[in-house]
Amino acid sequence: MRLDGLRLGIERDYFCTDADAGILAIFEAEAERLADAGAEIIEVTIPGLSDAVGGAGQHIAMYEMVRSLPQYLEASGSGVSFEALITEIAASGLGPMLDGIRGPKAISEDDYRVAMETVRPALQKSYADCFQGNRIDALVFPATLNLPFDLQEPGSHRHRGQDISAFAASGHNVQPASIGGSPGLTVAAGLTRGGLPAALGFDGPMGSDRKLLAIGIAYEAIRPAMPPPPD
């Protein structure tokens, strides 16, 4: 797929606000590279995106995970229980979090229904309106807000005046497609000056999976060779 005639949208408020400077620098450079290769970069806005993605959106993943993952482990014949899986998680804080959403912090059926029947459709409509209204083929954005971090000491990230977990910051930009069910793609983009990897994210309209993969392949063809991380 050629980049000539491709229309890529950038929604800066949700995807770029308070992104790490090194991450943002690579994103801006690669957006310019895409433009130089023939893509038309369109500045877009998606009103209410943060609200649509917010609290209730997470209820979907948390509600479904603690039900689907044990079923998958049993059906796979792995012999690994959900409890055993939790005990082996190395990332600090994730094990207790997963354990908590099975008990005292479990998502109720009512909250899940609100997320599925109200929040998710609103998010899907916001995305569809953006793609259709701006006639864009995909959104492009920094895949994460923050740099890679030590799983044992994840720390936090400052976002919109609040400290959020590093895990939340790393997953922030992929949430809209994940929650709404749109195709999303992450493609390595380069290394920061400190030698840490950064990536671009691409989200497409519903049903555009093949086209989104073609966009990713086209971007990889113009991206400079990825250097190995320093020792």
* pLDDT given for residue 92 in this prediction: 76
Nearest by Cα to 49 from 112, 137, 141: 141
Over range 9-29, report the average pLDDT: 97
Provide the 10 A C-beta neighbour count for residue 41. Answer: 16
Give the span between the Cα atoms of 37 and 98, in whole angstroms. 44
Q: Decide if pLDDT at 230 tops 90.
A: no
Q: Decide if pLDDT at 198 tops 80.
A: yes
Lateral strand order in the sheet of 7-10? 40-43, 7-10, 138-142, 197-203, 184-191
Rounded to an integer, what is the distance from CA 45 to the centroid of its chain? 17
Please, which pLDDT band fits residue 229 given cuts at 50, 70 and 90?
low
Amino acid identity for residue 148 in this structure: P
Pairwise pLDDT comparison (224 vs 208), residue with the higher score: 208
Q: Which region among 76-80, 86-90, 169-173, 211-215 has the lowest average model confidence (pLDDT)?
A: 86-90
* pLDDT given for residue 128 in this prediction: 96
pLDDT digits (tens, 9 = 90+) for 145-181: 999 999 888 999 999 999 999 989 999 999 999 999 9
Please, which pLDDT band fits residue 143 given cuts at 50, 70 and 90?
very high
**Which residue do the tokens 């806005």 mark?**
45
Pairwise pLDDT comparison (88 vs 228), residue with the higher score: 88
Q: Looking at residue 197, what DSSP letter applies?
A: E
Pairwise pLDDT comparison (206 vs 106), residue with the higher score: 206
Task: Tokens for 170, please give them.
Answer: 């790393």
* pLDDT given for residue 173 in this prediction: 97
Q: Decide if pLDDT at 84 tops 80.
A: yes
CATH node for 7-54+117-222: 3.90.1300.10
Specify the DSSP element, H or E, that contains 58.
Answer: helix 55-76
Provide the 10 A C-beta neighbour count for residue 191. Answer: 17
* pLDDT given for residue 231 in this prediction: 66
**Which residue do the tokens 């433009």 mark?**
35
Residue-range domain boundaries for the chain: 7-54+117-222
Pairwise pLDDT comparison (121 vs 56), residue with the higher score: 121
Q: Percent of the chain at pLDDT above 70?
A: 97
Cβ-Cβ contacts under 8 Å for 222 (sequence gap 6 or more): 3, 33, 34, 37
The length of the chain in residues reads 231
pLDDT digits (tens, 9 = 90+) for 96-132: 877 788 777 889 999 999 999 998 999 999 999 999 9
Cβ–Cβ under 8 Å, residues 127 and 208: no
Give the span between the Cα atoms of 28 and 21, in whole angstroms. 10
pLDDT digits (tens, 9 = 90+) for 36-52: 999 999 999 999 898 88
Over range 196-222, report the average pLDDT: 96
pTM reported for the whole predicted model: 0.90
